[in-house]
């Protein structure tokens, strides 16, 4: 979907629905239509009722698919709808985000498998094979981004992993050199700025905002924007979003990157970074026993609060208490 067509979650949405019925035979037609729907990024709202955000491209996609349905002996209609009861706009957005998040997680799993496979392999044949796999992975992620209508979680994780693989293949493992040099290649964390991130904040963005305001930039203001198409203004700095100044790098989430750049050698913050990593990256790298409980708390905050500023406020209280716990535990 083009950036100009990006739906605005803050406004009442209009949806395009494809309602169709397919003949029992041939069986391959059902598989063909299902795969086409998956490729378009459509979600099921009811049996044989599929939705896309309203727009010229979505309409054209559904119209072509309807022709295939009819040509195969089925029937159907395409209509524009405004949801009134039964399903809310947010419910449908969550269906889209859940589907794309699953796609991103699968891509991240493939990227981590490639990292493991590379390991100590240094021969030219292995590197050439890895480059081919990287190209295919990037193409798959580009496909997912194209149908990520509402900025699902996971895009930054995959982008960071692919960037690290690319650096490794180029013999310039930026992540390792940055860690060894204390992230000297980055500019210092700014202060007195408007910190911009994408709408629908969750654990990494909530924790990062808490770290920024409490330890880096006490006067920080936060702004929440669509996941695609935003151009930052003067005095703004982006975090935990695609092409942000501060976001995922390799297998590090944004909180870990910001903490490394802050220079804060605080064991309590290091423990929180491990928890945020395990929740956000879903790789159980640190195996923190607290992660599942904190994840449920953040999920509750997100479910009870649609406004991002409110999520930051409630989440800050959680991380304040968690920080106090680790400080006392160490003491």
Output the DSSP codes for 274-325: HHHHHHHH-S-SS--TTHHHHHHHHHHHHHH--SHHHHHHHHHHHHHHHHHH
d(CA 13, CA 142): 25
Counting every residue, how long is the chain? Answer: 331
Kindly report whether the peptide bond that precedes residue 51 is cis, defined as omega within 30 degrees of 0.
Answer: no
d(CA 30, CA 189): 53
User: Which option is the CATH number for 3-87: 3.90.1170.50, 3.30.70.240, 1.10.3720.10, 3.40.50.300?
Assistant: 3.30.70.240
d(CA 297, CA 285): 20
pLDDT at 12: 60
pLDDT at 166: 86
- The residue extents of the domains of the chain are 3-87, 90-172, 194-330
d(CA 226, CA 89): 16
CB neighbour list of residue 247: distance below 8 Å, 6 or more residues apart: 156, 159, 160, 238, 239, 240, 241, 254, 257
pLDDT at 34: 94
CB neighbour list of residue 51: distance below 8 Å, 6 or more residues apart: 15, 16, 17, 18, 42, 43, 44, 45, 92, 95
pLDDT in single tens digits along all 331 residues of the chain: 433 344 554 456 799 999 999 998 888 999 999 999 999 999 999 889 999 999 998 999 999 999 999 999 999 999 999 988 888 899 999 999 999 999 999 999 999 988 888 776 667 778 788 888 999 999 999 999 999 999 898 999 999 899 888 888 876 444 444 444 445 456 678 999 999 999 999 999 999 999 999 999 999 999 999 877 788 888 899 999 988 999 999 889 999 999 999 999 999 999 999 999 999 998 889 999 999 999 999 999 999 999 999 999 999 999 999 999 999 876 5
Residues 144 and 96: beta-carbon distance below 8 Å? no
| Residue where the block lists tokens 């491209």 | 57
* Residue of 197, 187, 199 lying closest to 247 (CA atoms): 197
pLDDT at 2: 38
pLDDT at 251: 86
pLDDT at 85: 82
- Residue 250: burial class (beta carbons within 10 Å; 0-12, 13-18, 19+): buried
Q: What are 265's two structure tokens?
A: 């050698």
């Amino acid at each position: 979907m083009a950036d100009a067509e990006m739906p605005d979650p803050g406004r009442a949405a209009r949806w395009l629905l494809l309602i169709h019925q397919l003949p029992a035979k041939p069986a391959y037609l059902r598989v063909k239509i299902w795969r086409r729907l998956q490729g378009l990024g459509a979600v099921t709202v009811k049996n044989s009722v599929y939705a896309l955000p309203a727009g010229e491209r979505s309409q054209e996609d559904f119209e072509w698919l309807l022709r295939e349905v009819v040509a195969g002996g089925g029937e159907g209609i395409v209509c524009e709808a405004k949801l009134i009861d039964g399903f809310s706009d947010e419910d449908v957005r969550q269906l889209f985000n859940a589907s794309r998040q699953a796609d991103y997680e699968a891509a991240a799993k493939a990227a981590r498998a490639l990292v493991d496979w590379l390991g100590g392999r240094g021969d030219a044949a292995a590197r050439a094979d890895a480059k081919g796999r990287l190209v295919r992975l990037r193409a798959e992620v580009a496909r997912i981004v194209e149908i990520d209508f509402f900025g699902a979680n996971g895009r930054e994780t995959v982008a960071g992993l692919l960037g690290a693989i690319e650096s490794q293949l180029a013999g310039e493992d930026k992540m390792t050199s940055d860690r060894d040099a204390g992230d000297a290649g980055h500019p210092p964390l700014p202060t007195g700025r408007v910190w911009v991130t994408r709408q629908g904040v969750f654990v990494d963005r909530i924790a990062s905002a808490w770290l920024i305001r409490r330890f880096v930039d006490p006067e920080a203001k936060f702004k929440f924007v669509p996941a695609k198409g935003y151009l930052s203004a003067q005095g703004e700095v982006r975090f935990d979003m695609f092409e942000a100044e501060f976001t995922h790098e390799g297998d590090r989430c944004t909180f870990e990157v910001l903490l490394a750049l802050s220079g804060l050698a605080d064991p309590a913050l290091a423990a929180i970074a491990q928890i945020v990593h395990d929740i956000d990256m879903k790789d159980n790298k640190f195996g923190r026993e607290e992660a599942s409980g904190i994840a449920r708390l953040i999920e509750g905050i997100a479910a009870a609060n649609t406004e991002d500023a409110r999520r930051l406020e409630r989440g800050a209280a959680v991380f304040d208490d968690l920080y106090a716990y680790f400080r006392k535990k160490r003491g």
